[in-house]
Amino acid sequence: MKHRHLNKWIKQLPTPAKALVIIGLIILTIVFGEPAIDKIEQLFNNSNIQLETVTLKRVVDGDTIIVTNQAGSDLRVRLIGIDTPESVHPDANKNTAEGQLASDYTKEQLKKNQTLYLEYDEELHDQYGRTLAYVWLTNNVDSNDIEDISNYMYNAKLIIDGYAVAKKFPPNIKYAEIFKQLETK
């Protein structure tokens, strides 16, 4: 649902207040159109994260993608907080069938030219120069809501669907405990 934060807030209101809010939203939508509701939704989105909008260029493997940012630069992004088995390692002996499955899964889930949203943690790059990020499938998320993390953060989705394990890479550990919980479900 596109406006879930607003919907959650409205559901908590007493019935008379709900009616007034809904009437107000209808009037704003008629006068200003859909963007008015998007602006109102932002007020109720209690997520404190900043997201960078990017476009998927290609999938490298299960936990690495290449994206293009709004400035037109390509970034090699390593999904943080997780680890998938190897599938494109230069030493072919380190590549595994499970790694190929994770890579294929990511290629099925993320499509070329798809809009994605990057969230950064403490450290922006790893020792190989890759950008380290949590990858969100939408920018309308509450980063404190386990349901939003489970449904809309691709890093978490890989764990839930069994293609990745939770792995701490300090200092980037913002979601480490949540990832561990998801791994045991």
Positions marked active-site: 78, 86, 130
- Alpha-carbon Rg of the chain, whole angstroms? 19
**Nearest of 86, 84, 109, 104 to residue 163 by alpha carbon:** 84
Q: How far is CA 94 from CA 7, 85, 86, 114, 142, in A?
A: 48, 9, 6, 30, 37
Q: Do strands 64-69 and 131-136 pair parallel, antiparallel, or not at all (unpaired)?
A: unpaired
Tell me how far apart the alpha carbons of residues 86 and 30 are, in angstroms, rounded to a whole number. 52
- For residues 37, 39, 45, 50, the Cα torsion angle rounded to the nearest 10 degrees is 140
